[in-house]
Amino acid sequence: MAAQGGTASRTGGSTRGGTASRSHLGMRSEAPQKGGVKGENENVSDESVGEEREFELSNAMADLETADERAERREREANEARESERRAAEEEILGDARFDEEERRDRNLDTVKTHGPGPKDAGKGTALKKHLDEHGIERR
């Protein structure tokens, strides 16, 4: 007979979570009573069967919770892996952009070294001064 994923013989065997008793496997442990009157032993047996079924149900619920926790952990790990891949791709893109920017600066420096800084009065405000003089505007 199979009980909750384990195997158990009629005399009781190993199952997940412990040893199976006759009542655990759905069998009565005492001989049937003669006559239609319920004895005290039968009531106790019914109670113990109910308790064992509650125990089985609580084990099943715990197994479901464990399965839920495993599923949540797997989902969390998958999300972390996706995030890590995204960050790596972003770093690669940013690294390429930084490299391109450095390369552009180097080219500009090479241009300055080759051709010089430009007109002698570049960057000294002489163009503005010339413009203001042409239009008769005094600088403050």
Q: Cα–Cα distance between 128 and 135 in angstroms, integer? A: 11
Q: Quick: pLDDT tens for 24-42.
A: 555 555 555 555 555 555 5
Among candidate residues 38, 41, 39, 37, the one with its CA nearest the CA of residue 49: 41
Buried b (16+ CB within 10 A) or exposed e, 119-138: eeeeeeeeeeeeeeeeeeee
Q: Quick: pLDDT tens for 4-26.
A: 554 444 444 444 555 555 455 55
Q: Cα–Cα distance between 101 and 51 in angstroms, integer? A: 74
Give yes or no for a contact between 22 and 12, defined as CB atoms under 8 angstroms apart: yes
Q: Cα–Cα distance between 1 and 52 in angstroms, integer? A: 17
Say what the pLDDT of residue 115 is: 64
CA atoms within 13 A on the CB side of 137: 9
Q: Quick: pLDDT tens for 108-120.
A: 777 766 666 666 6
Q: Cα–Cα distance between 116 and 7 in angstroms, integer? A: 90
Say what the pLDDT of residue 121 is: 58
Give yes or no for a contact between 8 and 15, defined as CB atoms under 8 angstroms apart: yes
Q: Quick: pLDDT tens for 52-100.
A: 899 899 999 988 889 889 999 999 999 999 999 999 999 888 888 888 8
What is the pTM for the complete model shown? 0.33
